[in-house]
Structure 1
Amino acid sequence: MRIVVVNNFFPPRVGGSAHMAASLAAEYVAAGHEVLAVTAAYADAPAEERVDGYRVVRFPAMKMPQLGLSIDFDMTFASVRPGNWRRLFRLLDEFQPDAIHLHGQFFDLSWLAGWYARRRDLPTLLTIHTLLISDKKLYGAVFRLLDAVLVRPLLSLFRPRYVILDKLGADYCAERYRTGEPNSEYLPIAVDVARFDQPLTMDVRVEHEIGDAPLIVSLGHVIPLRDRLPLVEAMPAILDEHPDTKVIVVGRVYYDAFLERARELGVRDAFIVQGAAPREDVPAYYAAADIVAHDLNGGCGTASLEAMLSGTATIASVPADNYPGIEMRNGENILLVPPDDATAVAEAVIDLLDDPERRAKLARRQSELVRAHFGLDVVAAEHLRAFEKMLGERGTRPAE
């Protein structure tokens, strides 16, 4: 097959959806398929290059201003640049794709490539990475309106088959986009297992002069949807029991309320804010940690799954049935706390620091869970089967 992978976010930009899109593209190539990746320009990344056996084309784009919203980070949009629409269609016509894999339902390149796929009658998968939700009433209302008047009507034009990553996403898509079994695939986040079998690139404890102190790593961009406030508010209780505990926050800080809250609580000195780290250094941060705590506002995304894979005890905040068909047993192969519950976070961290044997056993079982169900090769094969099924169905659909 000739497969187009489309995502406004793509390496060298860091982030879960960017790395998942790139990893799946590489896996499609490894399986013998030809791949074209289409993305938006980012920093000084070249306009075109070959990576891992496939071609990457980056379209000129405009950066959206930061407005303090719940999904506020550096998003770029390509459709506003003159000529990009025609250029994209020409590029796709030249490539002659058999199938298209879109990432992100509210990005303009997904909309444009989806419309192209509709006009060419091409099988299209759309992976839903981020949900337009907020616990703030105003933001929540704005996001619902955006979904209702913009996103859902656009998606209805090209009618993709939705790739839904977890139960929360399934409930969200059913409500907002009217999805169901006939137009959905339930495929988990893909984690590149091989990347965590490589030698570590650095000694994080030496780099930050941490020594043998208890270390919590929280890796991922800091935005209002992942604000780190539950971890900050748990720290006074944690420090009462383990006074030397340090927290390294790895990722760009787009929302710094957690730092102000840490100062108010007198725990700011426990936090080391690293900023974004190269992707190749991520395993080193997990290896240095005693505990990883990132998804505490509701979730268990790529960063948490990678931490689990690495063999470090990881705390998340999703229901035990979050991944359809994958059995997660709280306290055995996953450690779950309620979203935004600082007391539960404190209790979980203290229990793990108090019991290294339990911590090691949990970490081992978490790693086994991820390797069995979230490995890149396993998830990529499921995506390819979905494409093959859709290609087989294309000739049997009645004319419209």
Structure 2
Amino acid sequence: MRIVVVNNFFPPRVGGSAHMSASLAEQFAAAGHEVLAVTAAYEDAPAEEEKDGYRVVRLPAMKMPQLGLSIDFDMTFASVKPGNWRTLRKLLDEFKPDAIHLHGQFFDLSWLVGRYARKRRIPILLTIHTLLISDKKLYSAVFRFLDAALVRPIMRYLKPRYVILDKLGVDYCVKRYKTSDANSEYFPIAVDTAHFDKPLTLDVRADNEIAADAPLIVSLGHIIPLRNRLPLVEAMPAILEKHPGTKVVVVGRVYHDAFLKRAEELGVKDAFVVKGAVPKADVPSYFDAADIVTHDLNGGCGTASLEAMLSGTATIASAALDNYPGIELRNGENVLFVEPDNSAQVAESVIGLLDDPAKRAALAKAESTMVRENFGLDVVADEHLRTFEKLIADAPKRS
């Protein structure tokens, strides 16, 4: 098969959807398929390169100003650059794709490539990574309007087969885009197990002057309002009372700094070390150094939390036990979940794990096994490839 993978977010940009789309592209190529990745330009990344067995093309793009919204990443859009549509059409005409894999429902490259595919009757698989939601009434209303007025009509035109990663996504897509079992696949987030079998790249404790026996919490992932770290900050006074000297290393771009202001108000700011974004290669080192990993405390269990579980470090998140359709999660056994935004439960869970190293080790082992068996990149990629094959077989013949 000739497969086009499309995502405005793509390495060297860091982030869950970027890593997942790149990892799947690599896996498709390793399985013997011809793969083209189309993305937006990012910093000094080359406009074109061959990597991991597939070709990457980055189109010129404009960076959107940050407006303080809940999904306020450093977004780049390619459709505003003159000539990109002609370049993209020529690129795709030359590649002659059999199937298209779009990542993200509200990115312009998804719309452009989707339009190309629709006109040529090429099957489209669309993975929903980010939900347009906010706990702020104004932003929530704006997002609902954008979904209803813009995204849903485009999806209705593209007629993709959806890949939905978790229960929250299922509920969201049914409500916003009228999805159903008839047009959806329920695949979990893909985790690259091989990445965590590589040698560690750095000594996190030594680099940050953290004693070998000091309790260490790592919180990895971009800091945005939807993952604001406030439950962890507000749990810290109780944690420090029971385990003085506990440190929290926060890894990820800081787009929303309310957690730092709250830490200062509570007198716990000295417990936090903010590292910013780090290379993907260094992520296993941060997990390995930690006693506990947690960042999904506002509701959810994303790529970073699953990677932490895989790595063999006890991990706390805040998803529902039926979060992944078809995957059995048992709280306190193969996962440890708390209620969203519940700092008291965060404190209780962290203290309980720090108090009982044997319990912490048993949880870490069970979490790692659960992720490897259900979320492994090879397992999830095979599901995608079977879906591509079926979509191609069922697609109307092209004239």
Q: Taking structure 1 as the reference length, what is the TM-score of the superposition? A: 0.98
> Partners of 1:372 and 1:255 in 2: how far apart?
35
What do residues 221-267 of structure 1 show as CA deviations (whole Å, max 9, x unaligned)? 11111111111011011111001100000011111110000000000
What do residues 60-118 of structure 1 show as CA deviations (whole Å, max 9, x unaligned)? 00000011111112000000111111211111011000000000001000000111110
Please name the residue that 1:219 is paired with. Answer: 220
> Partners of 1:16 and 1:395 in 2: how far apart?
34
Please name the residue that 1:88 is paired with. Answer: 88
1:292 and 2:271 matched = no
Please name the residue that 2:310 is paired with. Answer: 309
1:37 and 2:37 matched = yes
Please name the residue that 2:123 is paired with. Answer: 123
User: Partner of 1:336: helix, strand, or coil?
Assistant: coil
5+ long unaligned stretches in structure 2: none
Please name the residue that 1:342 is paired with. Answer: 343
> Partners of 2:393 and 2:335 in 1: how far apart?
38
Instruction: State the 1:396 CA deviation.
Output: 8.3
Please name the residue that 2:69 is paired with. Answer: 69
> Partners of 1:193 and 1:263 in 2: how far apart?
38
Aligned residue pair count: 398
> Partners of 1:231 and 1:96 in 2: how far apart?
49
1:329 and 2:330 matched = yes
1:232 and 2:233 matched = yes
Q: Taking structure 2 as the reference length, what is the TM-score of the superposition? A: 0.99
What do residues 189-209 of structure 1 show as CA deviations (whole Å, max 9, x unaligned)? 000001101111111111111
1:371 and 2:372 matched = yes
> Partners of 2:396 and 2:48 in 1: how far apart?
34
Q: Matched residues, percent identical?
A: 76
1:141 and 2:141 matched = yes
What do residues 342-398 of structure 1 show as CA deviations (whole Å, max 9, x unaligned)? 11111110010001100000000000000000000000000000011111111489x
> Partners of 2:31 and 2:188 in 1: how far apart?
19
> Partners of 1:396 and 1:298 in 2: how far apart?
43
> Partners of 1:103 and 1:65 in 2: how far apart?
22
Please name the residue that 1:19 is paired with. Answer: 19
Please name the residue that 2:246 is paired with. Answer: 245
CA contact (8 A) 2:121 2:396 kept: no
> Partners of 1:143 and 1:91 in 2: how far apart?
33
Please name the residue that 1:183 is paired with. Answer: 183
5+ long unaligned stretches in structure 1: none
Instruction: State the 1:157 CA deviation.
Output: 1.0
User: 1:260 corresponds to which letter in structure 2?
Assistant: K
> Partners of 1:147 and 1:199 in 2: how far apart?
43
Following superposition, which runs of at least 4 residues in structure 1 exceed 4 angstroms of deviation?
none
> Partners of 1:90 and 1:183 in 2: how far apart?
30
User: Partner of 1:319: helix, strand, or coil?
Assistant: coil
Please name the residue that 1:394 is paired with. Answer: 395
Please name the residue that 1:196 is paired with. Answer: 196
> Partners of 1:193 and 1:315 in 2: how far apart?
19
> Partners of 2:367 and 2:289 in 1: how far apart?
17
Please name the residue that 2:159 is paired with. Answer: 159
> Partners of 1:309 and 1:202 in 2: how far apart?
19
User: Partner of 2:127: helix, strand, or coil?
Assistant: strand
Instruction: State the 1:334 CA deviation.
Output: 0.2
Instruction: State the 1:59 CA deviation.
Output: 0.4
CA contact (8 A) 2:103 2:128 kept: yes
> Partners of 2:381 and 2:246 in 1: how far apart?
39
